Structure 1
């Protein structure tokens, strides 16, 4: 079985899962289904075909429920299968573009600070799995980023 790392972006539809071997993207899985229903199926298939060494995910900002489901699912997998879990913010997957929050508010990242700004035109939410995984962009601090003032 091949050793791989698995990256999850579950902030918007479609859910994207990337399988990486030696930091290179070797397979992409996409789904428009609800993460709570499809993640167990996707990861069951991955575990049948590969030896997963590390788990990665985008921990926000984005959809509160999507982030929560992804975190609980991956944290449980991490504990049950003794696989390290890492996270980075969503801006890593969208070239640091604004991310829709609520109404005309959007999340923006300036330097390393995530805040909200009012934008007249809502951004297009496009997240993309990188061709090469940069470990230095991820942290062992994996708790979700959803308490940053979007609905305060």
Structure 2
């Protein structure tokens, strides 16, 4: 059995396949999550049997978060495979994440805030070489961080 980790908050989209907690395959795709997730998983589901799906639930691209959640939640329900999640800071060494304008999401301890930053050091997302399922949560609802402007 394998676990799949999906980070679709920006480009490239990253999908990692893990066996016994170790990364065995990494997929990078520059496309949009709405275009490529189905293609990626069509191929993966033919080659692997999954025990868990994991995704970065935000903050990040609203559309990336929505599409990824809906796609993986649907797979989770139809395939009866648990869906776990964590915040995006787990995958970028806790560096700031672009919100809007000069506003960035930052994580202080367990609190995520939106703060103005002039030129923050941005570290891209990276799949870890190994994972521990204990670090992921069954609270898998998307985290948007800020409300839509109305």
Shorter-chain TM-score bucket reads over 0.9
Q: Which residue of 2 aligns with 1:63?
A: 61
CA displacement, residues 71-98 of structure 1 (integer Å, 9 cap, x when unaligned): 0000000001100000000000000001
Which one of 15, 18, 25 corresponds to residue 17 of structure 1? 15
Q: Write out aligned runs for 1:1-150 (5 A).
A: 3-148=1-146
| 3-state DSSP of counterpart to 1:126 | coil
Following superposition, the deviation at residue 132 of structure 1 comes to 0.7
CA displacement, residues 50-107 of structure 1 (integer Å, 9 cap, x when unaligned): 1111000000000101100000000000001100000000000000001010000000
CA distance in 1, matches of 2:40, 2:123: 23
Following superposition, the deviation at residue 125 of structure 1 comes to 4.8
Q: Which runs of 4+ in 1 moved over 3 A?
A: 147-152
CA distance in 1, matches of 2:111, 2:148: 14
Structure 2 unaligned segments of length 5 or more: list them: none
| 3-state DSSP of counterpart to 1:76 | helix
CA distance in 1, matches of 2:148, 2:94: 18
Q: How many residues align?
A: 150
TM-score for the superposition, normalised by structure 1 = 0.94
TM-score for the superposition, normalised by structure 2 = 0.95
Contact 1:100 1:125 in 2 (8 A): no
Contact 2:93 2:123 in 1 (8 A): no
| 3-state DSSP of counterpart to 2:49 | strand
